[in-house]
Amino acid sequence: MSDFDPGRRRFLGHLGLAGLGALGASSFLSACASSASGPTASNSSGAVTIQSNLSSPQAKAAMEKLIANFNTQGKGTASLNTIASETFRTQLPTYLTSANPPDLYTWYAGSVANDYASRDLLLDVSDVWKSLGDYPQSLRTLSTDASGKQIFVPMNNYWWGFFYRKSNFAKWGVQEPKTWTDFLALCETLKSKGIPPIGIGLGDTPWVASAWFDYLNIRINGAPFHRELLAGKQRFDDPKVKAVFTRWREALPYFDPKGKAYPFQEATTALLAGKTGMFLIGTFFADAAPKDALGDLDFFRFPIIDPAVPLAEEAPTDGFFASAKTANPTGAKALLTYLSGVEAQEAYVKASSGIVLPANPKAKASDSPLVVKGKAMLDEAKELTQFFNRDSSDALQPTADTALTKFIDKPDQIDAILREWQAGAEKVFKG
Amino acid sequence: MAFVLVPFAVESVWVFWPALQGFWFSLTRWDGMSPTTFVGVDNYVEMAGDATFRGALLNTVIWLVLFGGLSVLGGFGMALVLQKERRGVGFYRAALFTPVVFSLVVTALVWRVFYQPDGIADTLLRAVGLEQLIRPWLADPQTALYAVILPALWRQIGYVMVLFLAGLKAIDPALHEAARMDGANSWQRLRHVTIPQLKGVNAVVLSVIVIDSLRSFDIVWSLTKGGPYHSSELLSTYMYSTAFQSLRLGYASAIAVVIFVLALAVILGYLVRAFREEA
């Protein structure tokens, strides 16, 4: 998933922001900045504080239950602190650099975690990983920082794909496409029936467009190039990147023109109402779907463009890391061990509404056909990517939002757009 | 002495010190985590060549002129119309003031519904046969800025109206009486009696408007976040996204300094003139 991760909690984010806007310009900025040394949660070797951005009602309730369970097991005590996700995102660097930081945090695997690790802000949790021997190698690699120690404990992941309603595809007499050519043919068929083939929701959630960029890039240039590009080791004005947009342009005429104006939640409503044919989105979109529609949902993987490129899929991984400055590393690790266990992961999957796959291979995911299919798709993939911001940084995401929304509006200006993107990215990498 | 020293001490800690720190940060490169690096005027040099900054500056000027100008005209007009006590006038005043009372989050939600595809705006245009004008209001770079100014005005006009109403109430009715006796028509009375008498209020209104324009952030952020691709970016939103999304706090502080200088220049300019006239 993504942006500021992401739209599903955006409303709470706004509440926080409205307050900020009321403050004066100059003093406001530095007041926030200078509060980095201010006091935060403080505890000795007693209870472990876990700072959570899982603020949607189901996820919050699920976390509360897990923590309550942990507290009855006698391995330590923990207290949960749930924070609106946009506030959490902007405050995370402040938490981690403060003198008395909270002990544990919910966050995402990948560059976004490794970046903190490279600043020595994260606790080495290799001890916890000793008991996670049966976790797949892909998750272990993902949780390992540049110096070779584990700094992250995954909780679950989910997948992205083209979602559609089975009943609508049957009504329109169309099949899931396998290749890019099939896909374009499908779009053409839907368009001829008067249905905007591809739904999207960029108003307020422009980061959704990054899924298109990620997928086209990993299908055309492969996941290693994609990761290097996002790490600043390749250039956005490279001809290989332009090739991504040349492909994308073939599909542009099939995008729902209204998708520019509404957020992905409304794009979901449009898909469910049969006003668009399909929608490239992560499984979290189902949070906004009515229960009775869930059984009618199906998805297909992003079509293959070059069969020679090893198959990669986006599988954003959520989990936990701990502050290097925690006063109680033993307690923090005990809680991480509990959270990575079968019991906790199954309880979380059961209690939360989302369609997620537990990270622990022994934990049972939901047995709905959709989840079984999603798990099979990820198991088949040679490489997993996280999502644009997770494979790079939240700081790079706005440069992508600008470039991609502009491309969708003005595909003719692609050369200028890529030059601007490169310039914007260089500023972010430079700091 | 304590009456001055205590507030001064509090101000120093909460206002002056952070403001000075802001100036210092504008000369550094800082991501909010690592130690700051002193870079001299690099941030200001970068700003000179930054097209997004120029766009945001231009948009801020457009905002100042349109939002400021129209809210003064609208607020003053409404105050003139509604100053006379007559039946039902309280209702209209309250109605115009209501948007000020709404939380901005609510305001943004209401206007989002208004602008959404097939929303109220589109329905209205269809009803009067202007459907060729329909566009994604907040997502079209041609219209996004203006589509955000409208809700801001909707809010501000009621506020400015109240300020002017208070000013109009304070004018001695005898002046109008005398002017009428001398045969001044209503335009002449407005031009030569009402407006000069409002001088004190004008200073307040101008300061309020300049400050509100330059700090306009919430409504833009909740409707467009400065997008699509920076087309509705104001200095305030650019500062915020530079600081808290791009984590370039040094450059963001430099933008904040520019905003501060702009506000100070406009307001000081006015105050100096006002004082000179009085002296």
| Shared-domain flag, residues A261 and A182 | yes
In the prediction, which pLDDT does A354 show?
64
In a domain, A23, yes or no: no
In a domain, A10, yes or no: no
Residue pLDDT, tens place only, B194-242: 888 888 888 888 888 888 888 788 888 888 888 789 999 999 999 998 8
Confidence at A413, pLDDT banded by 50, 70, 90: very high
| CATH number, domain containing residue A426 | 3.40.190.10
Do the chains contact at B227 and A206, CB–CB below 8 Å? Answer: yes
Share of chain A above pLDDT 70, in %: 88
Segment A286-315 shows an average pLDDT of 88
In the prediction, which pLDDT does A4 show?
41
Does the pLDDT at position A321 exceed 70?
A: yes
ipTM value: 0.81
Does the pLDDT at position A192 exceed 80?
A: yes
Choose among B33, B215, B218: nearest Cβ to A17: B218
| Shared-domain flag, residues A175 and A122 | no
Segment B231-254 shows an average pLDDT of 89
Domains and CATH numbers, chain B: 2-278 (1.10.3720.10)
Name the closest residue on chain B to residue A420, using Cα atoms: B51
What's the CA dihedral at B96, B101, B104, B108 to 10 degrees? -40
List of chain A residues whose C-beta atoms are within 8 Å of the C-beta of residue B103: 18
Do the chains contact at B137 and A33, CB–CB below 8 Å? Answer: no
Does the pLDDT at position A115 exceed 90?
A: no
Does the pLDDT at position A215 exceed 90?
A: yes
Residue A29, chain B, CB below 8 Å: the answer is yes
What is the total count of domains within chain A?
A: 2
Do the chains contact at A26 and B259, CB–CB below 8 Å? Answer: yes
| Shared-domain flag, residues A180 and A212 | yes
In a domain, A190, yes or no: yes
Do the chains contact at B103 and A18, CB–CB below 8 Å? Answer: yes
Residue pLDDT, tens place only, A237-290: 999 999 999 999 999 999 998 888 888 888 888 999 899 999 999 988 887 678
Do the chains contact at B104 and A21, CB–CB below 8 Å? Answer: yes
List of chain B residues whose C-beta atoms are within 8 Å of the C-beta of residue A91: none
Q: In DSSP terms, which residues pair with A293 in a beta bridge?
A: none
C-alpha distance from B256 to closest chain A C-alpha (Å): 5
In the prediction, which pLDDT does A6 show?
40
Segment B265-269 shows an average pLDDT of 80
| Shared-domain flag, residues A237 and A358 | no
Pull the structure tokens for residue A339.
């959270």
List of chain B residues whose C-beta atoms are within 8 Å of the C-beta of residue A427: 46, 246, 248, 251
Residue pLDDT, tens place only, A260-274: 888 888 888 899 989
Name the nearest CA neighbour of A420 among A257, A394, A405, B248: A405
Residue-number span of the structural domain to which A93 is assigned:
38-158+317-378
Do the chains contact at A33 and B249, CB–CB below 8 Å? Answer: yes
Mark which residues 96-115 of A lie under 8 Å from B by CB: 96-97
